[in-house]
Each structure stands twice: as C-alpha cells, then as structure tokens.
Amino acid sequence: MNSLPRPSDFAKPRAASSSSDEIAQALLQSDLVAFALVDSGNIVAASPMLRELLGGTVPGQHIDGRSLQSIVAEVDAPGVAEFCRATLDANCRVELRCHLKRADATMLPVLLSAVSVLAQGVRKLLIVVTDVSPWIGDMAANDSVSSFAAFDRVMSFPTRALLLDRMKIALAAARRYRRRAALLRIELDRFKALLQSLSSEAADQVQSTLAETLRNCVRDCDTTARLGASEFVVMLPEVGQREDAGITAARIVQAVEALFARNEPRFRVTAYIGVALYPTDGTNSERLLQCGESAMRKAQCIREGGFALADATSAELAAIQPLEFLPEYHLGIPEIDAEHRDLVARINALADDLAGGADPKTLEYDVRAMLEMLRAHFTTEASLLVQPRADGGSERKMRNLRFLEELHCILLHVNSQSIALAIRHLYDWLKPHLQELAPSKGA
C-alpha cells in the first residue's frame, strides 16, 4: 500500500497542540468520526463509529485493547507498521490507504489519516479512519485500494466525496472550539486547454508540478481537493485572523502565475479564487462551497487572476475600529515613537477612507506608500532597539519580512476587496507590534 506523506510535511514539522487530548476525547465520544487513539501499537480507545464500521457494537469489545495490526488485512500489515513509524518520526500528518478486517471477516477499504500527539506526557497516534468503499469502482477487476476514486489519479488530491468528509470533521471541530475555518474555491483559467495540448506524459508532469506548488502554499493540516479538470478547493480547518484565508489565496494566485509565466499567452494559466469563512459566510459544507463559488465568479472579473471574498467576510473586513496611540506605547526613543504615532494616524486614515467608499486606486496608492514607510521603519527599529537576547533581532527581522511579503502578495492583483484585506492586515499587525515593543522600553 502507498503511504502518502506530503512533501511539505517534512519541511515544516508541527508541534503537538496543547488541546489535542481534548479534541481526541471529544471525537472518541462522538458518532461523527471513526477515530482511534493508539499507544505503542495498541488501540487504547476507539469512537463508536469505528466500532460500527468494523462490526463491534458493545463498547470495550472487538477493538479496545487490541493491537492495531489485529484489525488490519494481512497483506497491508507491513505498510501499516511503516505508516505508524513514519508518523511518529515525522511528527506530522501522514495518510495511508489500506484494508481493515470487519467482525464478519470481510475487508473494508479505508483511508487512515494519523498525527502524532503528546497526550498525558506520552506520545500517541490519533488516527481518523475514512470508509472509502462508496467511492471504489469494480474491486473484483482491481483489488487495489490505491486506485479508488476518492483521490485524483495524477495529483493524489482528494475528490469531492472525501473533501466533504474532511470538511464535516473540520467544521465540527471549529464549531466545538469556536474558531474560524475557511474555504478557498479555485478555478484555473486555461489549464484544461493546456493539458489538452500536451501528450499524456507531459500533462501528467504538469499536473504533478502544480500539485507540489499548491501543497507548498498551504499548511500540512489543510486539505487540497480536486473537483474537476481545472477546479480545486482548499479547506483551512483553522484560521486566526479573518485575513489569513485571503493571504493564503493571494499566495496561491502568485505561485500559479509564477509557475506558468513562461508559457505562451494562450496557455498562461492563472488562478481565480473565492474565499468563504466559517461561520461568517456559512456554517455547513454546502453553504461554504456555494459562497466560495459565488466569490470565485466575482474574482473572474479581475484581469489575469486574483481572489475575492464572500460578501459577509468582505463586510466584516471593512469594519475597523480606530487605533489609539496609548501612553504605554511610548518607548522614549524619539525617532521610533514619532514613526509609531505616524503609523497609527495613517492606518486610521486608511480605515476611514475605506469605510467612506474611497476610490480603490487612491487607497492602493496610499497602502503602497505605507509599505515603503514600513520598510524604513523596520530599518530604524533594527538600528535603535537593543535586543534582550542574541536571537531577538533576527526573529523580529524575519517576522517583519514575512509581514511585508504578505502585503506585497495581497497587492499583486488589486481590487476593492484586496485593498480592504491589506488595510485590515495592517491594522491587525500594528496593535500587537506596539504591544510587543512596549516592554522593551529602556532597552
């Protein structure tokens, strides 16, 4: 069986969340997800749905306390052992397609999605089990689960049915823990025509390269699915700020543009992306997909690629309260204090102009002027602030550079919504920036 670790997983190892044990317990007690907690190869807890999938009806019987290998098809046992080892070693999400043995001795084709977490001081595996039997074609003709239709053949992205399953899990977690999630609906213009112009081998290579590009634009916890020849969806199960989803969309637009920049114009692929936010734009999968598609249609009015926000998220982004330069923000360094005061005044003015319906071109000019002002400000801070730790300066420099890169990415394809997103991103950055520096007074 094929283990499917994403290349980006190993480049960006992820620390276990402090709430992982709580999430595990909530899922284990629900009938929403087929889920198991595995310790040293043994199943220490299993959700009711997993017992139901495998034919066990009485809690504590058939699954709990048994080894994971005891419910795995013999032919898949070596692959599952390697899957568990790789997940623990990589400390990131890994996926495996295999068969599990049901109580009646029949085989159930499944997808295992696992992540290593620290629960009560012990590193364990959290494994979500997805029944893929509804999506498999003629298993008599081909008994390999690796060919089932839940995954795209070339790009190995989930298709619609598996996407909906993952969205159900992500939205249930977002609802329980009262956090935002987001959906990006992506249409690649001219991509289908490009593939049709190529040989089968060349088309497969282009799709594989695109898959790697898209994976590098998102986190290992996000899901990228393929709905059609040129249509994709990215599910972000958790976003901090409202604009985080828009920044991800901007990165994808930029990455796709760069990937196909050397193609002749009729095959120069560009991305149009609609962004929908949970719970602002919808509280279920169907509604989020609809809002994402509607926003994507608006994005297609932008020349040569871009993104647009669903209506409710767009309105939410534009609602900005004025910032105040409080006494505790004074560092006693005249040059920095003056620049901070000017930044607050300029961002408040931008927010007022946005709320007042100012022309997007005028706002774009002002935001780009702020970008240059920020570059100069970061230079001033680097020269005048003494860092309390040897690595403090480099850490702050990296954060500042990442922030500037995000703003630049947002402004590559300008419309009224991308301008609103940039202003909101400035606003949400400045207050924490002032608060972070405040304790450095006198340094």
26 CB-near residues (< 8 Å, 6+ apart):
176
342: in domain: yes
User: Quick check: helix, strand or coil at residue 179?
Assistant: coil
Q: Are residues 98 and 217 in the same domain?
A: no
Instruction: Tell whether 154 is covered by a domain.
Output: no
pLDDT of residue 23: 60
Give residue 392's pLDDT.
55
Read off the pLDDT band of 390 (50, 70, 90): very low
- Going from the C-alpha of 270 to that of each of 102, 253, 309, the distances in angstroms are 46, 7, 18
What range does the domain containing 219 cover? 160-318
| Whether pLDDT at 394 is above 60 | yes
Is the same domain home to 74 and 139? yes
- Residue 422, beta-bridge partner list: none
pLDDT, one tens digit per residue, over 402-436 is: 899 888 888 888 777 888 889 989 998 998 899 88
Work out the pLDDT band at 290, boundaries 50, 70, 90: very high
Who's near 81: CB < 8 A, 6+ residues apart? 69
119 and 177 inside one domain: no
Q: Are residues 176 and 295 both part of a single domain?
A: yes
Last residue of a domain, one of 318, 338, 355: 318
User: The domain spanning residue 414 has which CATH number?
Assistant: 1.20.120.50
Q: What per-residue confidence (pLDDT) applies to 27?
A: 59
Write the DSSP symbol of residue 19: T
Instruction: Kindly state whether residues 207 and 129 are assigned to the same domain.
Output: no
Q: Per the structure, how many domains does the chain have? A: 3
Beta strand pairing status for 231-239 and 270-278? unpaired
Which has the higher per-residue pLDDT, 172 or 182? 182
pLDDT in tens, 203-254: 999 999 999 999 999 998 899 999 988 999 999 999 988 889 999 999 999 9
The span from the CA of 288 to the CA of 278, in Å, is: 7
With 90 as the cut, is the pLDDT of residue 287 above it?
Answer: yes
Q: What does the DSSP 8-state code read for residue 241? A: S
Contacts of residue 418, defined as CB under 8 A and 6 or more positions apart, other chains included, come to 246, 250, 306, 307, 410, 411
Q: How far is 282 from 259, CA to CA, in rounded Å? A: 32
Average pLDDT for residues 135-162, to the nearest whole number? 63
- Quote the CA–CA distance of 266 and 192 in Å, as a whole number: 11
Looking at the domain assignment, is residue 388 inside a domain? yes
Q: What is the mean pLDDT of residues 97-124?
A: 84
pLDDT at position 65 is: 76
> With contact defined as beta carbons under 8 Å apart, do 256 and 270 qualify?
yes
Residue percentage of the chain with pLDDT more than 70: 83
Q: What CATH number did the domain enclosing 64 receive?
A: 3.30.450.20
Last residue of a domain, one of 258, 283, 318: 318
Whether 275 and 397 share a structural domain: no
Q: Are residues 105 and 14 in the same domain?
A: yes
Dihedral sign for Cα atoms in the order 153, 156, 162, 163: negative
The answer to the question of residue 152 being in a domain is no
Kindly report the length of the chain.
Answer: 443
Confidence band, pLDDT 50/70/90 cuts, at residue 277: very high
Secondary structure of residue 81 in the 3-state scheme: helix
Quick one: pLDDT at residue 162? 83
Instruction: Verify that 198 and 264 share a domain, yes or no.
Output: yes
For residues 308 and 333, membership in a common domain is answered with no
Average pLDDT over residues 96-122: 83
62 pLDDT more than 70:
no
For the chain, what percent of residues have pLDDT higher than 90? 36
- Of 147, 168, 191, the residue at which a domain comes to its end is 147
In a domain, 155, yes or no: no
The reported pLDDT for the residue numbered 7 is: 37
Residue 291 is assigned to a structural domain of this protein? yes
**Cα–Cα distance for residue pair 404/116, rounded to 1 Å:** 33
DSSP per residue over 340-386, as a string? HHHHHHHHHHHHHHHHTT--HHHHHHHHHHHHHHHHHHHHHHHHHPP
Q: How far apart are CA 168 and CA 362, in angstroms?
A: 42
Tell me the per-residue pLDDT of 346-387, one tens digit each, with 9 for 90 and over.
999 999 998 888 888 899 999 999 999 999 999 998 888 876
| Whether residue 271 is found in the same domain as residue 311 | yes
Q: What is the pLDDT of residue 380?
A: 92
Between 166 and 183, the higher pLDDT residue: 183
pLDDT (tens digit per residue) in 325-356: 999 999 889 999 999 999 999 999 999 998 88
- What b/e string do you get for 407-421 counting C-beta neighbours within 10 Å, with b at 16 or more? bebbbebbbbbbbbb
Let me know if residue 371 belongs to a domain.
Answer: yes
Q: Residues 378, 431: one domain?
A: yes
Q: Confidence class of residue 96 from pLDDT cuts 50, 70 and 90?
A: confident
The answer to whether residue 406 sits within a structural domain is: yes
Question: What is the Cβ-side half-sphere exposure of residue 163, based on CA atoms within 13 angstroms?
Answer: 26
CATH number at residue 248: 3.30.70.270
Cβ contact 45:38 at 8 Å: no
Is the domain of 311 the same as that of 375?
no
